[in-house]
Amino acid sequence: MLYMAVAAGSFRRYATYRAATAAGIVTNTVFGFIIAYAYLALWDQRPHLGGYGPAQALTFVWAGQALLAVAMIATGGLSELQERIRSGDIAVDLYRPADLQLWWLAADLGRAGIQLFGRGVAPMAVGALAFPLALPGDPLTWGWFLLSALLGVVVSFALRYLVALSTFWLLDSSGLAMISGLSCMFFSGMVLPLRVFPDGLSDLAQLLPWAALLQVPADVLIGARTGGALLRGLAFQAAWAVALLALGRLLQSAATRKVVVHGG
C-alpha cells in the first residue's frame, strides 16, 4: 500500500504540470510529422525496409512519439535522485522505513502513467488522423502492447537508476547520464527501427536492454510480434527488467553501506 500511495502521489504531482504536458504534446506531435515524412521518403525508395510496410513504419514513428516521455527514452538518469545524492539529502531518504529502489520505481511508474494519458495518447491520435497507420483492431493486441510498454518503463527505470546511483562515487553523473541518453535514443529504435540496421549491428542491438523500451512494444503494436515471437519479446523485456533491478539492488547495497554527507 505504501508504494501504491507513492505511485498515486507521483501521478497527481505530474498531473499538475498542465502547461508542460501541453507543450510536450505539441513537441511530440511536430516531431512526429517531421519523422513521419522522412520515413515516407525512405520507404518510398525501399517499400519493405526492415520487413515493415509503409503503414507499419509510420505506426512505428507514432509509437515512438507516444512512448518517448512514458519510457523517458531521451533521458539517461533520474535527475531528482542524482541531485539528492549530490546534495546529501539522500540521507533523509535512507532513514525512511521504505526500500529506496522500490520507492523510486513506484514514483516513476506514477509519472509514466500520467505521461501515457497525456503525451502518449494525444500524439498517437493525431498521427492516426493524419496518416494511414497499421493500428490493431483486436483489443487483446492493445493489451499486450500496454504490458510490453509497462515492462519497457521498468527496464528504463532500472537503467536510469544505475546511472543515478553512480552519483555516490562520481558526485556529478550528468556526463554519464548524457551518454546513457544518447545510447538509449540510438539503440531503442527511436532514430530508426533496429531491424533496419545492418545485419550484425541489428542482431546485437536487439539483444541490448534498450530494445525493450521501444523496439519490442512497437513491434507488438504493429503486429510484427505474434504468437511465440510475442512471448519471447515479453520474456526478453522481463529478463532485462529483473537483471537490471537486481544489479541496481547490489549497487545500492554497496553505495549505502557507508554514506558520508557533505559537510561532515
pLDDT digits (tens, 9 = 90+) for 104-115: 999 999 999 999
- Assigned domain for 224 exists: yes
Per-residue confidence band for 264, with pLDDT thresholds at 50, 70 and 90: very low
- Assigned domain for 198 exists: yes
Amino acid at 113: G
Residue 187 has pLDDT above 50, yes or no: yes
pLDDT of residue 50: 87
- Assigned domain for 88 exists: yes
- Assigned domain for 161 exists: yes
Residue 129 has pLDDT above 50, yes or no: yes
Percent of the chain with pLDDT over 90: 71
- Assigned domain for 261 exists: no
How many domains does the chain contain in total?
Answer: 1
- Assigned domain for 62 exists: yes
Percent of the chain with pLDDT over 70: 98
- Assigned domain for 226 exists: yes
Of 66, 93, 62, 61, the C-alpha closest to 78 is 93
Domain limits for position 54 = 2-256
- Assigned domain for 199 exists: yes
Per-residue confidence band for 260, with pLDDT thresholds at 50, 70 and 90: low
Per-residue confidence band for 91, with pLDDT thresholds at 50, 70 and 90: confident
Averaged pLDDT, 202-209: 95
